[in-house]
Chain A
Amino acid sequence: MSGRLPAGGRIDRTRPLRFTFDGRGYTGYAGDTLASALLANGVHLVGRSFKYHRPRGILSAGSEEPNALVEIDRGGGRREPNVRATMVPLVDGLVARSQNRWPSLRLDLASLAGLAAPLLPAGFYYKTFLGPGREAWHRRWEPLIRRMAGLGRAPDAPDPDRYANRYAHAEVLVIGAGPAGLDAAIAAAEQGGRVILCDEQAEMGGSLLADPAQWDRLAAMLATLRANPRVTLLPRTTAFHHGLQNFVSLAQVLDRPDGLRERLWQVRARRVVLATGAIERTIPFAGNDRPGVMLADAARTYAARYGVLPGRRVVASVAHDSGYDAAFTLQDAGETVAAILDLRADPARAAAAEARGITVLRGHGIVGTRGGLHVTGVRAAPLMEGGRPDPVRARDIACDLVLMAGGWTPTLHLLSQARGRLRWDEAADAFLPGDLPEGITCVGSCAGTEAGLPIRAIAAGAAPGAFIDHQNDVTAKDIALALREGFTSIEHVKRYTTNGMATDQGKTSNMLGLAVAAATLGRALPEVGLTTFRPPYTPVTFGTLAGRARGLDFEPIRRAPLHGWAEAQGAVFEPVGQWMRARYFPRAGEDMHAAVARECRAVRAAVGMLDASTLGKIEVTGPDAAEFLERTYVNAVHSLKPGRSRYALLLREDGFVFDDGIIARLAPDRFHVTTTTGGAARVLHMLEDYRQTEFPELRVWLTSTTEHWGVIALQGPRARDLLAPHVEGLDLSREAFPHMACGAARICGIPGLVFRASFTGELGFEVNVPAGHAPMVWERLWQDGQRLGVVAYGTEAMHVLRAEKGYVIVGQETDGTVTPDDLGYGWAIGKAKRDFVGKRSLARPDMQRTDRLQLVGLKPRDGRVPDEGAQLVVGEGPSQGHVTSAYDVAVLGLLRAGRSRMGETILATSLDGAPIPLEVVPPVFLDPKGERLHG
């Protein structure tokens, strides 16, 4: 049976489009939605409900659709569940399938659940599945419930499409392109500012689209707007999140052939005009969910906009005058209006209907609907006292379409999200805008519509089995049950019954559910309350929100100046914060262990080169620079002479180690301070905090120079031999340039800084040159170093070498609970200092305990190296600490009162074997006297 009218509608009959639904081929036209095309082909049964698997049809013509959810498959990972057929513009070759049924939509065995419905009232699962045994729920019942629940299938392959995003500012953002929104956009555009007008539909016009008499006016309005270069028109664009200060997020569907699917717009608007319209209410009669039962205005839209008759013989259940418009439109389009059943006793427009030859039954409602997979008739009856139709006086009226015109609910989700207040308006029989936040106005029917029969009166006549939430299968009696069981807050009712929690988020069910609750409790609607409107307005694809952040673009990658060289050498990298650092440089056949061992040997025997450019660097300048560092770092800084540097520790104000590095005094008023790689930004932030807010009187300035300097560390007994020939203007001899000396020089002809510093225990230098020159300097030193047996080493060898010397890594030996003394680094603290950041906290009782965890060396007694993170125990006892670093040559750990336990044997836990015995030793395994260091 074809529902397509021979003429009319806004579809393009010259462009037929082929599509399939559940494998059967159909034809529609450009301008159709999937829903209108299905109706045109006489397909009314399109889905199954969530809980009882009841047959469901198309209820609406918009985004409020709770029933007509389908799977759209564009192939190759483009399978998408739970798509509202009413919002899918038809395209050629569209593949759609019904969901949540087995084996087929017409014969769904799970609909047998409907037979058990008496056993499955709201919240039944809280009362059952309690046994047998404690795990019965998880093991036996939950898998069953999970299989029954859910709607469509999740995609099973990565989505190949792309998503974009854009930020925009607008003088006025108008949301909704119906008559009120179009007027508002035109008026705003005349003021001269930038205007954005968005609408969720593929075509702009809103209710005008269902009124052919208005089409010329609509075309003229759109032409006016298109002609204005300051106006941006965004169809298929849903404003889904309205944040503070008019920061509004829009999801725009693009479906471009190049694979660009959707775009997230984030708009900051001086003024937002909400022209979001209103959503028609259903009527709660028994069987109001059968395919063929439809919102009245939706039927009107299908007829007028799409040229589709959703039925041949219609009965309208009406509580609002707008139902007459729908009936008249259908009649004009050729449909037989069998009857209008008006719940009201004296409807104003009945006479007009009767003048058209339509039977109007005043004060009548529907006792029930007939039919299986499609409605075949209704049982109409006069209303009794209280509002329910009287089944005794019911009579059958045959029909294949039932309209529901329950009145209108203004769409104010966005206003609520933007923290505007809604107030109940008795005359309008709706929640209307109350306090409007600054910069928001509401126009058109979202600001209020004419009332029909009050919704509370409609709800009072609800049949117990009438569906309130069509998707989640919540009936009026479920709401009554929740109230009976003490769930009297509307939020409790919602959660207990799941009313309004389906994919339509209650657009057609929240108000009616509230009204049923109010009627049952005998209270006024606003006393029962209103559930919160939560973003998004309609569901938004994850991909739209994630945008371009995917793959390597998920997060920025920072590459050091010598990254390219390391890559060419076949280095294996590891992420450290956002940086990629070379971890080791394997040669053919080497695994990490072998490569690292070779790199370490070469450093100890000759010289190694490390790209240390990722270290944070802060230049601290000004007459009070020394005083500033004296107050922030634990070290004595005033006593540091220009040309010398010091190992530096920075604590948080709570006394725990925050970062470490080197403070080098380049001049009386100029310091070069290094930080850990991961700590650079947070250290600068912390120092700026003290500089600006605690010590504003100090004349000192901080500048991040992390990315200005490329840093090449040269470590090993031959380091000086390698470096010295390339340095001008600085005497690198042992006497003139001792450990921790620093100075300016030309390196390979490039002005830079040289530090005598070691993170390996070997003779070492750190060469700083402007980052752009670092590759050239590195290459020169590398070539020259071949004569000395130079190696490039990575972070892994660096870790081994420093552990052997007992140097800690902040973040490995420390974890935010470790003090300088815990590390045995009390020596770094300037003894004469009255104060520094964190000093007072170190005097707190717990910091003074003698049984704190302290850094020790650990020597494996049976050759096995423990895991990093292994717990240190004695016997079976509780944890006495843990292993922080573990290599063949050195194991470090934090051990309770560790420094007093030298020589003791303890055990490290093992995940796959016997505990590992370890001897407690001092944490320095190499050159405790520092002869190599000072070499």
Chain B
Amino acid sequence: MLLIRCPWCGDRAELEFRHCGEAHIVRPADPSAQSDAEWAEYLYLRENPRGWHRERWRHIHGCGRFFNALRHTGTDRFAATYRAEDPRPEIPE
């Protein structure tokens, strides 16, 4: 079970959180202007990297806030968690 640092509440057990997919995918401002292919890309295409992954979590059984995390999908280690308004942390060496 992961230990996750909520930017508002601190370190908590994974049971309190819900993973919410890849981060920084912005909903198009005008979906109707999107082609079917562009829309499919927004809906479905994902980086799914082996390595550092920017992803969303929600402290659903806590403060309820969404936040972002930088986690390595090979080791499952977190480099950082950060709020939407925070600058994106650098990918570690």
Contact = CB atoms under 8 A, between A and B. Distances in A.
Contacts of A244: 1-3, 76-77
Interface string B26-57: 01001110101001000100000000000010
A841 interface: yes
B88 interface: no
Contact of A840 (B3, B32, B56): B32
Contact of B43 (A243, A268, A653): A653
B39 A844 contact: yes
A692 B39 contact: no
A692 B2 contact: no
B25 to A, nearest CB: 10
Interface string A829-849: 000001100011101110000
Contacts, number: 51
Contacts of B30: 834-835
Contacts of A243: 1
A244 B13 CA distance: 12
Nearest to A681: B60
B20 interface: yes
Given A419-B75, A835-B30, A840-B39, 13 more contacts: A244-B2, A244-B77, A653-B27, A685-B58, A688-B58, A693-B66, A693-B84, A834-B30, A835-B31, A835-B32, A840-B31, A841-B43, A845-B36
Given A653-B43, A834-B32, A692 B65 contact: yes
Interface size class of B (residues with CB under 8 A): 20 to 34
Q: Ordered nearest first, which 6 A-B pairs have the shortest CB separation?
A: A840-B31, A245-B3, A692-B66, A247-B1, A694-B27, A693-B66
Interface of B: 1-3, 13, 18, 20, 27, 30-32, 34, 36, 39, 43, 56, 58, 60, 64-66, 75-77, 84
Nearest to B34: A840
Nearest to A268: B3
A653 B76 CA distance: 29
A607 to B, nearest CB: 40
A850 to B, nearest CB: 18
Contacts of A654: 43
Interface in A636-690: 653-654, 685, 688-689
B38 to A, nearest CB: 10
B32 A689 contact: no
A843 B66 contact: no
A689 B65 CA distance: 9
Nearest to B21: A689
Interface string A424-458: 00000000000000000000000000000000000
A688 B64 contact: yes
B7 to A, nearest CB: 13
A909 B30 CA distance: 45
B1 A841 contact: no
7 contacts: A244-B1, A244-B2, A685-B60, A692-B65, A835-B30, A839-B31, A840-B31
A430 to B, nearest CB: 25
A6 interface: no
A556 interface: no
B24 to A, nearest CB: 10
Interface in A197-256: 243-245, 247
A762 to B, nearest CB: 38
A839 B18 CA distance: 26
A878 interface: no
Nearest to B38: A840
A247 B36 CA distance: 45
A844 B40 CA distance: 9
Nearest to B1: A247
Contacts of A841: 39, 43
Interface string A789-807: 0000000000000000000
* Residue of A244, A685, A845 with most chain B CB atoms under a 10 A cut-off: A244
A835 B13 CA distance: 38
B56 to A, nearest CB: 7
Nearest to B74: A419
A696 B20 CA distance: 17
Interface string A675-719: 000000000010011001110100000000000000000000000
Nearest to A694: B27
Contact of A844 (B36, B65, B77): B36
Contacts of A843: 32
A689 B64 CA distance: 10
A268 B13 CA distance: 9
Nearest to A845: B36
A12 B66 CA distance: 60
A696 B27 CA distance: 13
Interface in A318-351: none
A834 B31 CA distance: 9
A241 to B, nearest CB: 10
B56 A693 contact: yes
Given A840-B31, A845-B36, A688 B1 contact: no
A419 B30 CA distance: 46
B66 to A, nearest CB: 5
Contacts of B27: 653, 694
A693 B68 CA distance: 11
A884 B25 CA distance: 37
B12 to A, nearest CB: 11
Contacts of B2: 244-245
Contacts of A844: 36, 39
Contacts of A653: 27, 43
B31 A689 contact: no
Contacts of A696: 84
A840 B13 CA distance: 37
Contacts of A839: 31-32
Nearest to B30: A835
A149 to B, nearest CB: 35
B61 to A, nearest CB: 11
A245 B4 CA distance: 10
A694 B27 CA distance: 7
* Residue of B31, B34, B65, B77 with most chain A CB atoms under a 10 A cut-off: B31
Contact of A247 (B3, B58, B77): B3
A395 B53 CA distance: 66
A245 B2 CA distance: 7
B30 to A, nearest CB: 7
Contacts of A245: 2-3
B74 to A, nearest CB: 10
A409 to B, nearest CB: 26
Nearest to B60: A685
Contacts of A693: 56, 66, 84
Contacts of B65: 692
B36 A689 contact: no
Contacts of B76: 244
Contacts of B13: 268
Interface string A812-837: 00000000000000000000001100
Given A653-B43, A654-B43, A696-B84, A689 B66 contact: yes
Contacts of A689: 20, 58, 66
A844 B32 CA distance: 11
A268 B3 CA distance: 9
A563 to B, nearest CB: 24
B58 to A, nearest CB: 7
B35 to A, nearest CB: 10
Contacts of B60: 685
B48 to A, nearest CB: 19
A179 B65 CA distance: 48
A34 B20 CA distance: 52
A696 B56 CA distance: 15
Contacts of B64: 688
A841 B76 CA distance: 34
Contact of A685 (B1, B3, B18, B34): B18
Contacts of A266: 1
A689 B43 CA distance: 15
A843 to B, nearest CB: 7
A689 B21 CA distance: 11
Contacts of A685: 18, 58, 60
